Amino acid sequence: MTLVLDASVLVKWLLRDPDRELYLEQAQRIMDDVGAGRIELFESVHWLVEVVGVIARLSPQTVSDDLILLYQLVPRIGDDLDLHKRACSLSVTLDHHLFDTLYFAKAKKVGHIISLSDWGSDL
């Protein structure tokens, strides 16, 4: 299975703070499946900068170590003109941030979009 994860899921992996983050159990199951090779990650070109930017603000004491962990993920990266054109179109149409529409555009190509809260239920 291939997943395109929103940066918020990756942030949950790193922070693991139940007071700040919802759906940690679902995020943990995905992380376990990635580690076991049952899930392959396919991410947008900006994924690393987006995640590290959040971690630098929320957990500056761990950001260097977290960056090393993220580099070890080695997801497939989507970075082509058609993808960016589709994301730009979605951004304008939906009046939504371009970073987020890159996830939508990528997920549309490989399957469908589900909420983390629904992960693990019969889809």
pLDDT one-digit tens code per residue, 16-54: 888 888 889 899 999 999 999 999 998 888 899 999 999
- What residue spans define the domains of the chain? 2-118
The pTM for the full model equals: 0.78
Q: Would you call 101 exposed, middle or buried from its count of C-beta atoms within 10 A (0-12, 13-18, 19+)? A: buried
Tens digits of residue pLDDT in 70-117: 999 888 888 889 888 888 888 888 888 888 777 676 556 555 677 788
Residues 102, 106, 111, 114: is their CA dihedral positive or negative? negative
- The three-class DSSP label of residue 35 is helix
Gyration radius (Cα) of the chain, Å = 14
If one looks up domain 2-118 in CATH, what number appears? 3.40.50.1010
The pair of three-digit structure tokens given for residue 7, joined into one six-digit string: 């940066």
Q: Assess contact for 74 and 91: CB atoms under 8 A.
A: no
